[in-house]
Amino acid sequence: MMLDLVVVGLGYVGLPLAARACAAGLTTAGYDTDTTVVAGLNARRSHIGDVDDARLAGMFTAGFRAGQDPSVISRAGTVVICVPTDLTADGSPDLTAVRAASTRVAAALRPGTLVVLESTSYPGTTQDVVRPLLEQGSGLRVGEDFHLAYSPERIDPGNPLFGLRNTPKVVSGCTPLCAKHATAFYSRLVDTLVVAKGTREAEMAKLLENTYRYVNIALVDEIALCCDAMGIDVWDVLHCAATKPFGYAPFRPGAGVGGHCIPVDPHYLAAGADAAGSPLRLVATARAVLDDMPRHVADRAAALLTGRGKRVAGAEILLLGAAYKPDVADIRNSPAAPVARRLREHGAHVLYHDPSVPALTVDGVTVRRAPELAPALAAADLAILLQDHACYGAPLMTRSPCPVLDTRGRLFGPRVTRL
């Protein structure tokens, strides 16, 4: 049986895409190399917060199946590659998953298929990396025998207002005909399409979106450090500045940036810029600021304890929020890990509370989890609010029996110190 869509990579991008396709009436299958992911999905257990188990069950009712047999790709009218683009140990782009997925798709590619890359990468990836692998592996030609496009993902985990359908979708193609086929496909899934001039423009647009946030978060982080040194309330400064109805977009400081996109995408942009002989100095400076924020937060916590006459070594410090953003379970690149690492270097005993994160490991060592918030606050020498989950409401936290270092600017009270 032929399929409308096969999604390659069933992570935080691929599974929501498959869910939306099923809801739109497309016959859809998923392919992933992770045995645990595939087994969980086929047991109707979702590993992605934006696709709960009930929605997953509905996908299977609509005919969706997940598997590890790449031959399913040969039955697809459209194949969308949604594999992760990570970093190497030295912070360079790692396209291992993209290359592997492209090779698998090439082996099963048939004439007339539309192949779309949604994974974030530097400009030229679609044309210079994916296209040669598809053509060489299949013996087919882009624009003649099959169609190749790039459409950057815009998934924002936990966002209740914007999902795949109502977020404008940028599409592009290696040829005008490729772009036309990509537009026809995505028009069945999303309300608004934006057609880029080419794949490089679409790839760069995605990197710009997240680098914009990266640089501006670094700016307000540095402003927060400056305000602290000058005795200025940075949170009041941010409140006042945000009242300007033009020329200013509000950002908030914190313990660092997390998730897959914001800490990673600027590295891809910087690598592409360096290769083009046009290094982005502002991005490099922003990286230095953001990389240093977990250290600053941990050292600030140590100073608070010392100022209260307590030794940091042996102190029990409670991290509130292990996820990288409010009210999600995603811990990828969360600042909780480097903050915990630095506190351990000070000799502190670190534990964490997060209702959505059952386990947290830092450098191979499990961080002790506090199952209940109130007893943990009562026993701690200091708490650090890293993520403003809904459960950390102001009425509860302002009555905290232990001092609180608030990195999110949400709390008030005599025992609260704000970043």
Instruction: Answer for the pair 64, 5: CB distance below 8 angstroms, yes or no.
Output: no
In the block, which residue shows the tokens 């250290």? 295
Neighbours of 161 (CB within 10 A): 7
Residue 169 belongs to what H/E stretch? strand 169-173
What kind and span of H or E run contains 115? strand 114-117
Q: Can you give the C-alpha Rg of the chain in angstroms?
A: 23
- C-alpha distances in angstroms, 247 versus 73, 88, 135, 214, 221? 47, 37, 46, 18, 19
Dist. CA 253–CA 230, nearest whole Å: 17
Residue 309 in contact with residue 382, Cβ under 8 Å? no
Could you tell me which of 97, 76, 101, 102 has the C-alpha nearest to residue 87? 97
Q: What's the maximum distance between 2 C-alpha atoms anywhere in the chain?
A: 74
Asked whether the beta carbons of 65 and 32 are under 8 A apart, the reply is no
Could you give the C-alpha distances from 69 to 6, 104, 331, 363, 394, in angstroms and in order?
A: 12, 10, 29, 34, 50
Active site residues: 261
End-to-end CA distance of the chain, in Å?
A: 58
